[in-house]
Amino acid sequence: MYFCQMFLRIMKKGILVLGLLLMTVSCSEYQQLLKSTETAEKYTAAEELYNEGKAEDSNKKLRKSLRLLEQIEPEFRGKPQGERLVFLLADTYYQLGDYINAPFQFQRFLQLYPNSQKAEEATYKKASSHYYMSPRYDLDQTDTHKAIEELQVYLNEYPEGEFVESANEKATELRIKLEKKAYEIAKQYHHTEFYKAAIASFNNFISDYPGSPFREDAYYYRFDSAYKLAINSFQFLMEERLEEAKEFYKAYKKYYPEGEYIPQLEDSLSEIDKRLQNF
């Protein structure tokens, strides 16, 4: 039993040493390849590392491929392999999540090879790079607008393309993000009791985003802002503002006759009618 345990320990250590030795040899060969002037060997190794990196989701192999691709890409410009190399370079940035360099490289690919079979994929991934750079809704949305623009370019150029479903899903998600930002800004005015600004913002929101999932909420908070503005107004302004709130109530009821805010609206309407009797 003792000898069996000793044998197993020796075997485990041997396997570990062998693994480390192979890694050392592999790293040494890679470093030699980086220093080599053999572009053909570098091309083959770069493509192998790229394919393995994608298949295994290995950033380490993708980064190794990227270093080789960056070295040899200029050497193949104007040659048959150039098209493949420029695409691989762009897609390696994309696979690594470098969404700053990826769209630039895909754009360069499209300029150099506009008729390539990879043009559709490059157009989509260029747009997707901007999609992944889009921040959460409460931050600056410059990248979101850019992503929507680029996704629309793809959809216009390839209406029956391979990535249409994904592009539409991404574009819809980004539009909802913009809607949420606009809605939350208007709602913040309401919650901080800047009711005039809230009414104006909700008016703009309803006009700009007719199909928004936040539309019912916007109708309700527009009414509630008008109602609270009215009941807190000077007497000479109150009647007109109560009437405006009542119009907003009617607008909500028109589109959402069984909406979730009906109980609150009915309570507020009773107060409005009671106050209007005094005028």
Tens of pLDDT, residues 193-252: 999 999 999 999 999 999 999 999 999 999 999 999 999 999 999 999 999 999 999 999
Rounded distance between C-alpha atoms, residue 21 and residue 245, angstroms: 79
**How does residue 151 score in pLDDT terms, banded at 50, 70 and 90?**
very high
**How does residue 9 score in pLDDT terms, banded at 50, 70 and 90?**
low
Residue 98 CB: number of other CB atoms within 10 A?
A: 15
- The answer as to whether 13 is a domain residue is no
- The answer as to whether 140 is a domain residue is no
- The answer as to whether 248 is a domain residue is no
Tens digit of pLDDT for each residue in 230-242?
A: 999 999 999 999 9
Residue 192 has pLDDT above 90, yes or no: yes
Residue 8 has pLDDT above 50, yes or no: no
- The mean per-residue pLDDT over the stretch 41-53 comes to 92
Average pLDDT, the chain: 90
Domain span at 65: 40-116
- The answer as to whether 97 is a domain residue is yes
**How does residue 102 score in pLDDT terms, banded at 50, 70 and 90?**
very high
Query: What is the number of structural domains in the chain?
Result: 1
- The answer as to whether 122 is a domain residue is no
- The answer as to whether 165 is a domain residue is no
- The mean per-residue pLDDT over the stretch 15-44 comes to 67
- The answer as to whether 91 is a domain residue is yes
- The answer as to whether 70 is a domain residue is yes
Long-range contacts of the stretch 94-103 (C-beta < 8 A, 24+): 94/125, 94/128, 94/129, 95/53, 95/54, 95/62, 96/59, 96/62, 96/63, 96/66, 97/132, 99/129, 99/130, 99/132, 99/133, 100/133, 102/126, 102/129, 103/129, 103/130, 103/150
Q: What CATH number did the domain enclosing 61 receive?
A: 1.25.40
